[in-house]
Amino acid sequence: MMDLLGKLDVKRTGIFAAGVLFGTAGVKVLSSKDAKKVYVSCTAAVLRAKECVMRTVSVVQENAEDIYAEALEVNEKRAAEEIDFEDESQGEDDFNETPAMES
């Protein structure tokens, strides 16, 4: 029995006992009514922040959709103008050709 006590590391045993003590006290503190009020307040603040972020995300998403729609319109107009320009340039080529001289 004395041999067992001689091998017992007092420092490690003391650290373990302190950990158990602080853990037990910590559970008591964390489960108190005051701690619950703090948890509720923090959770409410997080929910308010989430709501604010979601509103901002919605606005950004709407703006992105508007930008995308306008960009599509710009590209459609540009493509239509290019087609009109190509049609006009082909018509001008027909008139600018000089008839071949017949020999």
Element (H, E) at 5: helix 2-7
pLDDT in tens, 4-26: 555 667 777 888 888 888 888 87
Residue 39 CA to chain centroid, in angstroms?
Answer: 26
The pLDDT, as a whole number, for residue 11 is 77
Residue 94 CA to chain centroid, in angstroms?
Answer: 57
Global pTM reads 0.47
Poorest-pLDDT segment among 12-16, 36-40, 59-63, 99-103: 99-103
The pLDDT, as a whole number, for residue 102 is 55
Q: Strand, helix or coil at 102?
A: coil
